[in-house]
Amino acid sequence: MRIDVITVLPEILESPLGHSIIKRAQQKGLVDLHIHQLRDYTTDKHRTVDDYAFGPDAGMVMKIEPIFSVITKLKAEREYDEVIYTSPDGDKLTQNLANELSIKGNLIILCGHYKGIDHRIREHLITREISIGDYVLSGGELAAAIIIDSVVRLIPGVLSDETSALTDSFQDGLLAPPVYTRPAEFNGWEVPEILTSGNFKKIEEWQMDQAVKRTKRLRPELLKRMKGED
pLDDT of residue 166: 57
User: pLDDT at residue 228 above 80?
Assistant: no
Residues 27 and 58 in one domain: yes
The amino acid that residue 156 corresponds to is: P
Residue 21 and residue 68 in one domain: yes
Three-class SS of the chain:
CEEEEEECCCHHHHCCCCCHHHHHHHHCCCCEEEEEEHHHHCCCCCCCCEEECCCCCCCEEECHHHHHHHHHHHHHHCCCCEEEEEEEEEEECCHHHHHHHHCCCEEEEEECECCCECHHHHHHCCCEEEECCCCCCCECHHHHHHHHHHHHCCCCCCCCCHHHHHHCCCCCCCCCCCCCCCCCEECCEECCHHHHCCCHHHHHHHHHHHHHHHHHHHCHHHHHHHCCCC
Whether 157 maps to a domain, the answer reads no
- Domain end point (choices 120, 152, 184): 152
pLDDT tens-digit series, residues 20-62: 999 999 999 999 999 999 999 998 889 999 999 998 877 899 9
CA-to-CA distance for 143 and 203, rounded, in angstroms? 36
Same domain assignment for residues 181 and 146: no
- 194 and 140 part of one domain: no
Q: What is the pLDDT of residue 129?
A: 98
Question: Residue 34 burial by CB count (10 A; 0-12/13-18/19+): exposed, middle or buried?
Answer: exposed
In a domain? residue 162:
no
What's this model's pTM, rounded to 2 decimal places? 0.88
pLDDT at 169: 57
Among 78, 181, 70, residue whose Cα is nearest residue 117: 70
Q: What percent of the chain has pLDDT over 70?
A: 94
Considering 152, 187, 210, which residue would you say is the last residue of a domain? 152
Could you read off the pLDDT of 107-134 as tens digits, one per residue? Answer: 999 999 988 999 999 999 999 999 999 9
Q: What is the CATH number of the domain that holds 92?
A: 3.40.1280.10
Structural domain boundaries enclosing 198: 169-226
Give how many domains the chain has, as a whole number. Answer: 2
Please check whether residue 164 lies inside any domain of the structure. Answer: no
Answer yes or no: do 133 and 174 share one domain.
Answer: no
Average pLDDT over residues 219-223: 91
Over the stretch 155-211, which tens digit does the pLDDT of each residue have? Answer: 999 987 655 565 565 667 899 899 999 999 999 999 999 999 999 999 999 999 999
Rounded CA Rg of the chain: 22
Summarize pLDDT for 69-98 with one digit per residue, the tens.
Answer: 999 999 999 999 999 999 999 999 999 999
